[in-house]
């Protein structure tokens, strides 16, 4: 979501006479787009701001702005704590950037962190920053109303609202015409996308099929799904459309019903397992990934073992794994005690990581001998003689270069693997 927001900001600034540069020393304006989901992310921002001090000393006219969730969470406190910061702007106020820049140019600091019930930036054509020219993001909704106990997003991004489907489809068409061959539909909880306007009701499964119909050569991905909302209609939409990728990111966070209830995740371990079974039945061979939090408030060793057992039962292809970090003003911060010692959190997280490495390797070993359609993204980091891309299951595949270029679809037979990558040869016609 933050990357997508950066592209929106880039478009707004470009329309007001600014240009991007890859050389930070040339910059007259530096924006830091921030995340508040974990404390580590905020600390990285703080460290980065310290690095900008020397740039501002050399160029006193340099404008430094903080955008996004951290700006929304800390507001004026950031201006007080970070003396070199000139501008603070929340995720729903990016349209105000030109006006705020004018304020800064008068020598004043500027701030706008008001949240909106309606803003989706639907009419703004994002600048594709750092794009490979093959894959792009399309934001389909903003905000979140799940209020998971550990999560600050509902407080920093506001009320959930969905974007007009016509603008989403038009953006997908434009991207395809520009040569892009894959789009990822983004939302805090994409399953809850719902457009209801003038008796037109469109849910996420229907939107997904509409975007898939733009062109059969345009791949469609999406992130992120919430287990409580992943419907059979959505699974059938994926199964029935070749160009909707067979990969689902389905965070479970904990395998313990006790912890899930504490987290206010609104589903049980049994519900989650039933949804995994539905995915396996309706979309055989579907790639599965997840998010896991270790050391949430009151987590016992039994709770931790239940997380490990669920990981083994599912056999995820990969996972994003974190130890619990208390965020101010969340339900957990207000009502629970962060009572798991940091060394215990760290040990449990390492056990989760070690298990996932095993599961990822086993998953990749099962793909040896299979042939996949791979969308070429670029040259392999390790050798110019090889290309890399992803299959429908969102696994990275490395294969000999030959005459292929980014954006080409290539049939690749898998011959070897690591825990992170599939290695293969171009399949014979």
Per-residue model confidence as pLDDT tens digits over 75-89: 888 888 888 899 999
Residue 422 has pLDDT above 90, yes or no: yes
Residue 351 has pLDDT above 90, yes or no: yes
Write down the pLDDT at residue 191. 94
> Which of the residue ranges 4-13, 36-45, 234-243, 302-311 would you say has the lowest mean pLDDT?
36-45
What's the pLDDT tens digit per position in 309-332?
Answer: 999 999 999 999 999 999 988 999
Residue 428 has pLDDT above 90, yes or no: no
Write down the pLDDT at residue 326. 94
Task: Tell me the two tokens of residue 176.
Answer: 């395809």
Q: Is 175 exposed, middle or buried (0-12, 13-18, 19+ CB in 10 A)?
A: buried
Q: Give mean pLDDT, residues 376-403.
A: 95
Residue 37 has pLDDT above 80, yes or no: no
Task: Tell me if 20 sits within 8 A of 133, measured CB to CB.
Answer: no
Q: Give mean pLDDT, residues 344-360.
A: 98
**Distance between CA 191 and CA 222 in Å, rounded?**
9
What's the pLDDT tens digit per position in 243-283?
Answer: 999 999 999 999 999 999 999 999 999 999 999 999 999 99
pLDDT band per the 50, 70, 90 thresholds, residue 429? low
Could you tell me whether strands 371-379 and 386-390 are parallel, antiparallel, or unpaired per DSSP bridges?
antiparallel
- Which domains, and CATH codes, for the chain? 2-112 (3.40.50.12160), 135-365 (3.80.30.20), 371-426 (2.40.50.140)
Residue 182 has pLDDT above 80, yes or no: yes
More confident site: 134 or 34: 134
pLDDT band per the 50, 70, 90 thresholds, residue 51? confident
Residue 36 has pLDDT above 80, yes or no: no
What's the pLDDT tens digit per position in 282-309?
Answer: 999 999 999 999 999 999 999 999 999 9
Q: How far is CA 221 from CA 188, 287, 375, 405, in A?
A: 14, 12, 13, 21
Q: Give mean pLDDT, residues 87-109.
A: 92
**Distance between CA 182 and CA 133 in Å, rounded?**
9
The chain-wide mean pLDDT, for the chain, equals 93
Percent of the chain scoring above 70 in pLDDT: 99
**Distance between CA 372 and CA 376 in Å, rounded?**
12
Could you tell me whether strands 182-186 and 219-223 are parallel, antiparallel, or unpaired per DSSP bridges?
parallel
List, in sequence order, every beta strand (DSSP E) within 11-144. Answer: 29-34, 63-68, 87-89, 110-112, 135-139, 141-142
- What stretch of H or E contains 98? helix 97-105
More confident site: 36 or 322: 322
pLDDT band per the 50, 70, 90 thresholds, residue 63? very high
Specify the DSSP class assigned to residue 92: T
Residue 25 has pLDDT above 80, yes or no: yes
């Amino acid at each position: 979501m933050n990357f997508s927001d950066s592209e929106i900001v880039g478009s707004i600034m470009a329309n007001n006479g600014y240009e991007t540069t890859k050389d930070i020393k040339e910059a007259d304006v530096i924006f830091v787009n921030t995340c508040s989901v974990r404390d580590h992310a905020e600390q990285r921002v703080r460290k980065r701001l310290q690095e900008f001090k020397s740039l501002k000393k050399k160029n006193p006219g340099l404008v430094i702005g903080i955008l996004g969730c951290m700006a929304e969470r800390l507001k004026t406190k950031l201006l007080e704590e970070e003396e070199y910061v000139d501008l603070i702007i929340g995720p729903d106020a990016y349209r105000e950037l030109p006006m705020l820049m004018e304020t800064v140019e008068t020598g004043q600091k500027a701030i706008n962190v008001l949240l909106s019930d309606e803003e989706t930036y639907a009419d703004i054509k994002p600048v594709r920053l750092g794009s490979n020219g093959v894959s792009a993001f399309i934001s389909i909704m903003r905000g979140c109303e799940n209020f998971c106990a550990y999560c600050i997003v509902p407080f920093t991004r506001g009320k959930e609202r969905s974007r007009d489907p016509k603008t989403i489809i038009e953006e997908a068409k434009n991207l395809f015409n520009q040569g892009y061959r894959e789009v990822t539909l983004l939302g805090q909880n994409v399953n809850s996308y719902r457009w209801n306007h003038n008796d037109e009701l469109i849910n996420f499964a229907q939107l997904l099929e509409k975007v898939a119909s733009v062109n059969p050569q345009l791949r469609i991905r999406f992130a992120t799904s919430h287990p409580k909302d992943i419907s059979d209609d959505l699974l059938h939409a994926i199964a029935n459309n070749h160009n909707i990728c067979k990969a689902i990111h389905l965070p479970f966070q904990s395998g313990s019903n006790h912890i899930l209830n504490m987290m206010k995740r609104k589903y049980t371990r049994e519900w989650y397992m039933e949804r995994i079974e539905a995915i396996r039945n309706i979309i055989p061979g579907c790639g599965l990934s997840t998010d896991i939090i270790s050391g949430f408030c009151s987590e016992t060793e039994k709770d931790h073992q239940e997380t490990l057992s669920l990981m083994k039962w599912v056999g995820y292809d990969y996972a994003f794994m974190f130890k619990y970090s208390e965020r101010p003003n969340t339900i957990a911060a207000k009502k629970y005690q962060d009572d798991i010692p940091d060394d215990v959190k760290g040990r449990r997280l390492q056990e989760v990581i070690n298990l996932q490495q095993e599961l990822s390797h086993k998953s990749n070993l099962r793909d040896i001998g299979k042939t996949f359609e791979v969308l070429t993204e670029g040259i392999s980091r390790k050798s110019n003689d090889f290309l890399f891309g992803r299959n429908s299951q969102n696994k990275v595949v490395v294969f000999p270069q030959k005459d292929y270029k980014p954006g080409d679809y290539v049939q690749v037979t898998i011959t070897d693997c690591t825990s992170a990558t599939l290695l293969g040869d171009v399949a014979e016609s």
